[in-house]
A = this chain, B = another copy of it.
Amino acid sequence: MANHSKAKRGIPPKEDFNSWYPAIVEIADLVDKRYPIKGMDVWKPYGLSAMGLIDNLARTEMSRTDHQEFRFPLLVPEGLLDKENRLVSRLKAAREAGVDPSDLRFDDEESGFKKEVYWVTHGGENKLEIPMFLRPTSETPMYTMFSLWIRSHADLPLKTFQIVNTFRYETKQTRSFIRVREIHFFEAHTVHADQEGADLQIQEDAEMVQTIMHELCLPSLVSKRPVWDTFPGAWYTKAADVVMPNGRTLQVATYHHYRDQWADAFDLSYEDSMGVTKLCHQTTFGMSERLLGAVVGMHGDDKGLIMPPSIAPYQVVIMPVAAHSDANVLPAVEALAQDLSSNGLRTKVDSRDVRPGVKHYDWEIKGVPIRIELGPRDLSAGKCIATLRTGGKVEIDLDGSPANVKEMLSEISNELRNRSALVVSGLVQKFPIENLSVNDSLESLIEDGIVYEIAFDGTDSDAELIEKKTGLTLLGVSDNKFSEERPCLVSGNLTLKRSYIARMY
């Protein structure tokens, strides 16, 4: 294991999260950050495998809900942006005309992606007639094609997704998985006959996010983003944020209800059963390698990663003991590995000629859920010792071991869910005061690394006041249902609504 010497150099304590995180992603061999472009890491086999298993969670959900996988080109000709810009202009005009803010879906500061994309200007030594950009996300290329594919109500709903590399010209500090310039990206795009169809899709997206987060053993805060943080052209945006151990929130999934706004810009219309031409309604749903970043950040400890069993590249590592002195050991190890593998368990045999302590140390860093030692004494007893990455050792019968291992994996998952729920419950707190007055100074009240839940039912300018006075960002209105009426932080009016304010990644 080439990274062993590096590991020996020591993992910072997790308490010092801002040192621990960037160190562990390399020590555990997920990525190598030494590629000469910042924010473009090399995925090493262990990291790529974990990411592939996250992709598979998404693919399973997509398949269950009748989405089909496509792959669109990476490059987008500049001209296609015109349609997007048309959308921007219309929404801006609407806003300037004084349309009700709750009907406003666009923040012109975010207008277009032009400033955030990489531009391809030359092919070989030739200057391209039309510059092209690397997709930051695929609304523009996809909707261009959708408008060719959709003619009648029989073509709807169209439910698509792709898993691809996307790019963002990131000027902020980059962090592996969290803020990168080449992004391993998941995006689902759907087209419906009417708003109701899109509404149902948003519900389905919410359920899929919950399923995936459950598999990853990650609690999340789901909220409806404030208007100024809504995706361009969206009617509204909902997002799932994971509270990282340092109290910063990490947006890991978003889903957008577009109503017919993009359809209008991209001429996405269909003939209904009466022959009437109508605009389509659309949604998108996005996730990325940030999911792996959240897994790393939430579950790891001072000793390294802890991989949730659902995405652990190896769920079980078997280590032969005293194989030199007993010829029965290696065949028994192979038989056990075969038994576990054929029962669908991702199993690795570590027969390196190094001390058991080294093996434990290496696999502990990589967060393998279960490590099994098997030696002559275990063989004669028909039992072996399993070490759980979440702590503790369990004696298991060699007969029926796949069922035992599956049960242990399930317990490990539950333990990770409990632990992460506990972490988050300590980091999400009620705001210490109930009434904000313009003259209040909040500096002494705001604790670093805490996500605050506030009762809030105010306007955009109320929200702006809160952000300004706290230095935190409004995540938006929580999707949870609350039963206790509390006074709105700004207006004092009683409300059931809760919002979160936090420092976001």
Smallest CB-CB separation from A170: which chain B residue?
Answer: B123
Smallest CB-CB separation from A126: which chain B residue?
Answer: B169
Say yes or no for A431: interface residue by CB 8 A criterion: no
Say yes or no for A119: interface residue by CB 8 A criterion: yes
Chain A contacts with B in 23-72, Cβ cutoff 8 A: 32, 34-37, 40-45, 48-49, 68-72
Contact A134 B120, beta carbon cutoff 8 Å: yes
Contact A145 B42, beta carbon cutoff 8 Å: yes
* Contact indicator per residue, chain A 143-171, by CB within 8 Å of chain B (1) or not (0): 01100110000010000000011010101
Question: Within 8 Å CB of A141, what residues of B?
Answer: 35
Chain A contacts with B in 90-123, Cβ cutoff 8 A: 114-123
Known: A117-B124, A169-B123. A79 touches B42 (CB 8 A): no
Say yes or no for A385: interface residue by CB 8 A criterion: no
Question: Within 8 Å CB of A171, what residues of B?
Answer: 124
Question: Within 8 Å CB of A121, what residues of B?
Answer: 119-122
Contact B36 A80, beta carbon cutoff 8 Å: yes
| Docked CA distance A125–B171 (Å) | 12
Smallest CB-CB separation from A115: which chain B residue?
Answer: B124
Question: Within 8 Å CB of A124, what residues of B?
Answer: 114-117, 169, 171
| Docked CA distance A123–B131 (Å) | 12
| Docked CA distance A72–B80 (Å) | 29
Say yes or no for A218: interface residue by CB 8 A criterion: no
Partner of A120, one of B32, B120, B126: B120
Contact B42 A72, beta carbon cutoff 8 Å: yes
| Docked CA distance A69–B69 (Å) | 22
| Docked CA distance A42–B142 (Å) | 9
Contact A69 B49, beta carbon cutoff 8 Å: yes
| Docked CA distance A2–B75 (Å) | 26
| Docked CA distance A70–B35 (Å) | 13
| Docked CA distance A118–B131 (Å) | 11
Contact B122 A73, beta carbon cutoff 8 Å: no
| Docked CA distance A493–B38 (Å) | 59
Contact B145 A182, beta carbon cutoff 8 Å: no
Contact A144 B35, beta carbon cutoff 8 Å: yes
Partner of A36, one of B41, B144, B149: B144
Residue from the set A79, A116, A124 with the largest chain B CB neighbour count within 10 Å: A124
Say yes or no for A132: interface residue by CB 8 A criterion: yes
| Docked CA distance A145–B117 (Å) | 26
Known: A115-B124, A119-B121. A73 touches B148 (CB 8 A): no
Say yes or no for A77: interface residue by CB 8 A criterion: yes
How many whole Å from A122's CB to the nearest CB in chain B?
A: 4
Say yes or no for A74: interface residue by CB 8 A criterion: yes
Question: Within 8 Å CB of A49, what residues of B?
Answer: 69
| Docked CA distance A145–B182 (Å) | 17
Partner of A73, one of B37, B69, B118, B145: B37
| Docked CA distance A48–B164 (Å) | 13
| Docked CA distance A134–B124 (Å) | 11
How many whole Å from A160's CB to the nearest CB in chain B?
A: 8
| Docked CA distance A262–B164 (Å) | 30
Question: Within 8 Å CB of A72, what residues of B?
Answer: 35, 42-43
| Docked CA distance A48–B59 (Å) | 14
Known: A2-B149, A124-B117. A37 touches B68 (CB 8 A): no
Question: Within 8 Å CB of A164, what residues of B?
Answer: 165
Contact B165 A74, beta carbon cutoff 8 Å: yes
Question: Within 8 Å CB of A37, what residues of B?
Answer: 73, 75, 77, 132
How many whole Å from A31's CB to the nearest CB in chain B?
A: 9
Which 6 A/B pairs are nearest by Cβ-Cβ distance? A123-B169, A40-B73, A43-B71, A119-B122, A115-B124, A45-B68
Give chain A's interface residues, CB within 8 Å of chain B. Answer: 2, 32, 34-37, 40-45, 48-49, 68-75, 77, 79-80, 114-126, 132, 134, 141, 144-145, 148-149, 155, 164-165, 167, 169, 171, 182
8 A-B interface contacts by CB (under 8 A): A32-B148, A35-B144, A36-B144, A42-B71, A42-B72, A43-B72, A117-B124, A123-B169
